[in-house]
Structure 1
């Protein structure tokens, strides 16, 4: 087989994998994002119906990520051991049950408990999906694959906000509040999707009946061998991934991104309401501007990254765009301009996410990928807790939900300052190390 025919086989096999896998991965991630963020639409009604204040809402929204973070690495190591198909299906069913149970919230403490349990149930989902990407796709194809996966949360914000707003208007039917109907109706489909994935999601190319033998071989070779030189590491080596400076720095930059972005999408409905919009459906519809910006970002920016040679320079440009968008929002008072800038901020804050994972995946493989990607996500999840909490505190202090944009400015500036440190760490890891004998001779 010629080199050209191998490349063509890989291209065809990659296209098959994209068409078969990405819709399933998007479906499960769509439902998870819908179930974790629909609480944003219930903020005002929870305050009236069960006495949850802005600060309590910010804490409860963010505390989800604490439960998630505590079990992130163990969960993804379990996915590596039992297989991502079984583990992802288990995650979906348990979080679907708990998301539905959110309809029984009675006050701040039950709100906190259910949000923590929801985070624990969902722990490991996203890094398990990223781990599957490392098993199926070559490094050059990963930004696009991850970008497609990120269309799921973008669509969840676009479609979920109007849908949730419409469901909120069912209040009074059957003696239930609108937010109770929303939690119940949006939680049950997650259980169904989890069962479907158990039967339909192949874990590795070798498990896919729809691939020819030569397609299986070339996918597995280029996903692992070309990127790292050997297919697997032993379980004794996984801790090494957590000690690498590049892993830690990517995690810290991701942490700051999540402080900004998670706070943004949890508090956007409240910002819209303070623009004197009262109808839940219209609030949800206008809040989808964040989803529109997010979707455009993950569709456009990974394709530019694929052709861009310098990872860290590209990361710096996108982070600078986030700083500029957030500063512009703070500087204007026009509601129309602010609606546009909500989308612009989400374009950069969300569109940069596939680049983080593509940069990390180039440097992790096998069980190191399972542990390292989960570790990065764990650090980011802590940012997911800190962001809504800080947004809630700033709203409590100022009386304005949009004051949280100062949190976005501060977090994105700090993230921009870390990018040169990441570039230096990558250069050091890539530099050839002198042989032990040569090093000894130099010091003799």
Structure 2
């Protein structure tokens, strides 16, 4: 009988070792990465919960709110690429901790806003502080997980997005109820407490998040070896394709396609996120508070459930383009139905839209991570995220402008749906299937040597 002898002299099969390595990395890394993303998204989106309070107590108009909500992404775009290149060189642990601590401090400082000018400045600074976080985590996942598992991990990471809205919506709404306590308005307490929490999670990052598999003691030598073989094989394939340098990524026409699709996706995403509490408030006929926060969380609960299933099926069938396109159809249909329906039907439609918004982003990132490696991945992912996220700047301003020009509260929703339809057309040129590496890599370079018993 033939056994496989691992690097430590222990019988081991390469595929089993790889499976154990991926499972351990998932259990050790993903919960904390999800927590980090929850804090990131909460601190950029809680402005939607504070919208009515900022309007009534600080005098921020609809137009200035849209500018402040969106200008976050201008600051974000300015430092995205250099931030990700620095992370690639100095390591994720230190750099992601720096990002979280700085953005937590800036987010807390939103409590000092006294008018439109200070609101816009703080939002711009928040974008500068957070720049590099999201693409940094996407790059970090390529250091730990093979392409075959990356879609599932991206789906798990994206749980942080809806969880921030599911948990953060009611919590933020409840914090607004602290109105007048110790002389502070409720919205001031919300920004202060949620900003401090983000900074504390940043400090924890220094102690929780390892940079690379080779550094950890919780992986056995044969598990590290199996993971190294597969990830090295992937890097080699991408280098053979000419996709290993930042310059090669900038010359790649695929990069432009990814940027366009992601830009259009973010128009849909943030056009819904920033205005969902306000839309639910109008549907229910009540002011934004705990009840609106609770109802606003329902679409994001549905999104968590859907994202736990849809990217996994996509990965197993290796049909990322088709599953991605279905998500975009859900977004477009959900937004349109929500614009012209009674409250119950509108909220159900928003559940479909929110599910598509989260799941499509998890699947989307499998395309560029399959395409680029090394500095090309670091720079390319940052370029996609920085330029694409400008859709978050366009979304609130486009929606507000459409409503104003057409004197309608549904015109803005129609513009979001048009953006989603354009993204759907742009997906026709994406590859139908994703990269597969592990089986070939472990077959060509098995872990260990065979011994006859």
Flag whether TM exceeds 0.5 (same fold).
yes
After superposing the two structures, state which structure 1 stretch, 367-376 or 3-12, moved more: 3-12
Q: State how far apart, in whole Å, the 2-side matches of 1:220 and 1:172 are.
A: 56
Q: How do 1:361-440 residues align onto structure 2 when only pairs under 5 Å count?
A: 361-397=369-405, 401-423=409-431
Aligned twin of 1:437: none
Give 1:233 deviation, angstroms.
Answer: 12
Report the more deviating stretch, 223-232 or 125-134.
Answer: 223-232
Q: Give the distance between the partners of 1:283 and 1:397, measured in 2 at CA.
A: 28
CA deviations over 1:92-134 (Å, ceiling 9, x no partner): 0000000000000011110110001000000000111011110
Residue 294 of structure 1 is matched in structure 2 by: 303
Moved more, 296-305 or 45-54: 296-305
Deviations 1:329-353 (A, max 9, x none): 23x3210000111111011122111
Q: Which residue of 1 aligns with 2:444?
A: none
Deviation at 1:153, TM superposition (A): 1.2
Question: Per-residue CA shift, 1:63-93, capped at 9, x if unaligned?
Answer: 1011001111111001011111111000000
Partner of 2:318: 309
Count of residue pairs brought into register by the alignment: 426
**2:47 maps to 1:39:** yes
Q: SS of the residue aligned with 1:40?
A: coil
CA distance in 1, matches of 2:344, 2:407: 21
Q: Secondary structure at the match of 1:188?
A: helix
Q: CA 1:404–1:8 in 2, change beyond 3 Å: closer, same or farther? A: same
Paired position in structure 2 for 1:433: none
Is the aligned partner of 1:251 residue 2:259?
yes
Contact 2:235 2:374 in 1 (8 A): no
The CA distance in 1 between the partners of 2:141 and 2:404, in whole Å, is: 41
Q: Higher mean Cα deviation, 7-16 or 293-302?
A: 293-302
Structure 2 CA distance for partners of 1:117 and 1:320, relative to 1, 3 Å: same
The secondary structure found in structure 2 opposite 1:210 is coil
- Runs of at least 5 residues in structure 1 that lack an aligned partner in the other structure: 428-444
Distance 1:30 1:425 in 2: 30
Cα distance in 1, alignment partners of residues 19 and 240 from structure 2: 24
Question: Following superposition of structure 1 onto structure 2, how do residues 151-162 of structure 1 map, counting pairs within 5 Å?
Answer: 151-162=159-170
SS at match of 2:245: helix
Residue 398 of structure 1: how far off its partner (Å): 5.3
Q: Verify: 1:105 aligned to 2:126, yes or no.
A: no
**CA positional deviation for 1:325:** 2.1
Q: 1:400 to 1:34 in 2, by over 3 A?
A: farther
CA RMSD across the alignment: 2.3
Q: Is the 8 A contact 2:161 2:358 kept in 1?
A: no
2:434 & 2:167 partners in 1: Cα distance? 39
Cα distance, 1:232 vs structure 2: 11
Shift of 1:425: 13
- Unaligned segments of structure 2, at least 5 residues: 7-11, 436-453
Task: Answer whether contact 2:243 2:371 (CA < 8 A) is retained.
Answer: no
Cα shift at 1:271? 0.7
Contact 2:319 2:433 in 1 (8 A): no
Tell me, yes or no, if the aligned pair for 2:238 and 2:244 is still in contact at 8 Å.
no
Q: Which residue of 2 aligns with 1:442?
A: none
Q: Which moved more, 1:283-292 or 1:146-155?
A: 283-292
What secondary structure sits across from 1:27 in the alignment? Answer: helix
Q: Is the 8 A contact 1:151 1:298 kept in 2?
A: yes
Residues 1:358 and 2:373 aligned together:
no
Matched-pair contact (CA < 8 Å) for 2:321–2:433: no
Deviation at 1:381, TM superposition (A): 1.0
SS of aligned partner of 2:134:
helix
Give the 3-state SS of the residue equivalent to 2:264 in structure 1. Answer: helix
Q: CA deviation at 1:5?
A: 1.1
Report the alpha carbon displacement of residue 423 of structure 1 after superposing the two structures with TM.
4.1
Asked if 1 retains the 8 angstrom alpha-carbon contact of 2:311 and 2:363, the reply is yes
User: TM-score when scaled to structure 2?
Assistant: 0.89
Contact 2:52 2:288 in 1 (8 A): no
SS of aligned partner of 2:287:
coil
**Which of these residues, 95, 107, 113, is aligned with residue 103 of structure 2?**
95
Tell whether the 8 Å contact from 2:100 to 2:202 is kept in structure 1 after alignment.
yes
